[in-house]
Amino acid sequence: MTMIISQLGIQPDALQGETVIVTGAGGGIGYEAARALLWLGANVVIAEINHQNGRKAECALESEFGKDRVLFVHTDVGDEASVKNLYNLSNLAFGKVDAVINNATIAVLGQVKDLSIEEWDRSYHVNLRGPVLMAKTFLSDMIQRNHGVFACVSSTGTAFLGGYETFKAAQVHLANTLDAELEGTNISAYTIGPGLIPTETA
């Protein structure tokens, strides 16, 4: 299948030698982002909590781009030990991490008054605690090397989406804060708001 990025005049080796972690890359936006990054020459780490989806994505991407540039690491982004394991295995495989794309998410739907606090906690675990742990774990090395990108896939919404969008919108503030704190470095922090994409989650 022809990739749109291949039609934009971008050199296919533009990110050669770079290593990018994409959380939630077992499907949907994360998987297609991983494909595009591999086409651009980057090494890609699939950080995915669903073991079956992660392995399936790894195999598909290996068959398309080769085995040496793709790594699946079973990861719960909201768990500190799991993120540390992701850090260790990514560095063991590729020597460094140049960019993180915080794409992992869970959708918690319902009226604010009806959602249990357990559902709010579950959403916070992935949709905000996750990106914070990723920042705390990976930014120090980027700062030391004065090179890196930290991106969040954010969104904002309205009725019946509060349990999801409250934390996704908070990623915008997190990225803006990091952008200010990283001023004067060669590290970029920003958010991407792709809108509603008809993925399995959506």
Catalytic (active-site) positions? 164
Q: In this structure, are strands 19-23 and 187-192 parallel, antiparallel, or unpaired?
A: unpaired
| H-run or E-run covering 82 | helix 80-94
Q: Is 109 exposed, middle or buried (0-12, 13-18, 19+ CB in 10 A)?
A: middle
Instruction: Please check whether residue 187 is in contact with residue 149, taking contact to mean a CB–CB distance below 8 angstroms.
Output: yes
Yes or no: say if 87 and 45 are a contact pair by the CB < 8 Å rule. no
DSSP string, 86-112: HHHHHHHHHS---EEEE-------S-T
Label the pairing between strands 43-48 and 187-192.
Answer: unpaired
Q: How many Cβ atoms from other residues are within 10 Å of residue 54's Cβ? A: 21
